[in-house]
Amino acid sequence: MKILKKKILAEIKGTRTTKMEVEAPLVARKAKAGQFVVLMAKEEGERIPLTVVSADEKTGTITLIFQELGFTTKLLGSLVPGDELYSIVGPLGHATEIKSYGNVILIGGGVGIAEIYPVAKAMKDAGNKVFTIIGARTKNLVILEKELKSISDELFITTDDGSYGREGFTTDVLKELLAEKQHLVYAVGPIPMMEKVAQVTKPYGVKTVASLNALMVDGTGMCGCCRVTIGGEVKFSCVDGPEFDAHKVDWKELMVRSKIYCEKEKHICKLNNKQV
């Protein structure tokens, strides 16, 4: 559970996007695109889910990329190579269904860019034509451009402020691509982004999958913290997901539930803002 490597991929005031390579042999052996781990940075820490960006069975290591936004991600980001995580378990969740669909659009927003990387790679390896759209608030938050370019047939970059690539949102590019026949749209990113993607693709009837980022505790189906409503039925993101049909997700509910500990989060960040 040792951290072997660490690299800051992006940094702007208030947040960083950090990449870490971690020792996790059992996970590295089995992890497939779309799956995640649940880890604790310290014994008194929270259990948090993070997507497995890549896995190396030979070295027994996995790569995680996360945005340092809240208390625990900042704590994790403060660790350095040589530090041991307190715990890590996985791979959890259902793997992405990889097959030859035809034309596949992958959309990554913010740290979601890292999360679509393993899926994009697997889709390309399965013989799909891969169009990748990545979006970030500003140039300094765009990550993995080189990596994604090498595995996509076409890569599009958007920034909210126009400081890099095209000014605007990933859904602007999506609308244009939908003029051609597409067989699958796969999106990971902030909840409003994924919701917008679903709205845009709906009239085209194209299968749209979103990988949800619900809050979790155990990650093994024991508590129901990560419950979401899919097509009117309650599902647990950790064992039934994390991917779901984006047209069936109750996005409003997901957004509301994701904010349940905002007050507590503010409190613990304030108390610790000098220590982390």
Q: What residues make contact with other proteins under the rule CB under 8 A? A: 26-27, 30, 40, 42, 44-47, 71-72, 75, 86-92, 217-218, 220-225, 227, 229, 234, 239, 253, 256-257, 259-261, 264-265, 267-268, 271-272
Nearer to other proteins, 76 or 123 (CB): 76
Give the integer Cα–Cα distance in Å for 131 and 183.
11
133: which residues sit within 8 A by CB, 6+ positions away?
105, 106, 107, 108, 155, 156, 157, 158, 170, 173, 174, 177
Nearer to other proteins, 1 or 206 (CB): 1
**CB of 248 within 8 A of CB of 231?**
yes
The nearest distance, CB 76 to other proteins, in angstroms, is 11
Nearer to other proteins, 12 or 255 (CB): 255
Give the integer Cα–Cα distance in Å for 63 and 73.
15
Nearer to other proteins, 117 or 236 (CB): 236
CA-based end-to-end distance of the chain = 21
- Dihedral sign, CA of 112, 118, 121, 125? negative
The nearest distance, CB 36 to other proteins, in angstroms, is 11
**CB of 243 within 8 A of CB of 210?**
yes
The three state secondary structure string of 200-234 is HHHHHCCEEEEECCCCCCCCCCCCCCCEEEECCEE
The nearest distance, CB 265 to other proteins, in angstroms, is 7
The nearest distance, CB 250 to other proteins, in angstroms, is 8
Nearer to other proteins, 27 or 113 (CB): 27
Give the integer Cα–Cα distance in Å for 245 and 193.
15
Tokens of 116: 């679509």
Nearer to other proteins, 21 or 46 (CB): 46
The nearest distance, CB 6 to other proteins, in angstroms, is 21
How many helices (H) and strands (E) the chain has is answered by: 9, 15
The nearest distance, CB 27 to other proteins, in angstroms, is 7
